[in-house]
Amino acid sequence: MLKPLLHRQSVAFLRISTLGISLYGGEDHGYTGPVLYRDLGLTPPLLVKKLTKDARKVLLEPLELLELDADHLFITFDKRHSTREGEEREILNSPLWQSLRAVRDGCVYEVDFYTWMNYGILSHRKKINDVLAALTSG
């Protein structure tokens, strides 16, 4: 478990597309929550606990994104709804995005869309490796 290493720091996962930003969570739901919060023992931020208690993901409103106080963010980009190259990444230049603690602190880690949006032993192993590489380097 990474919990002692992170000293109560929180971790969240976001899927970003032109349709919006989805927050994934819940240790009992979906592709990512069980791996992050149950298997690895990481701490979800309060917003994950509040919004994804009974769901694997929620589409965040801009004001909800402002509430995301995660110390570390894992993000992936869903290009399927983009009409032009890189459109889904435009949020990264917004003042809203730049105001997030994890962004300001340089604690945002981009991960592979297909790995993190799938379920199974190979995908879970890759997720675990991504988290270990990001959070134990330095």
What CATH number has the domain spanning 3-131?
3.40.50.1980
**Each residue of 1-18: pLDDT tens digit?**
555 556 679 999 999 999
**Each residue of 84-101: pLDDT tens digit?**
888 999 999 999 999 999
A 10 A CB-CB count for 2 gives 17
Q: What ranges do the domains of the chain cover?
A: 3-131
Q: What's the pLDDT band for 138 if we cut at 50, 70, 90?
A: low
Q: What distances in angstroms separate CA 84 from CA 15, 21, 77, 87, 96, one per listed residue?
A: 18, 18, 14, 6, 22
**Each residue of 34-79: pLDDT tens digit?**
999 999 999 999 999 899 888 889 999 988 999 999 999 999 999 9
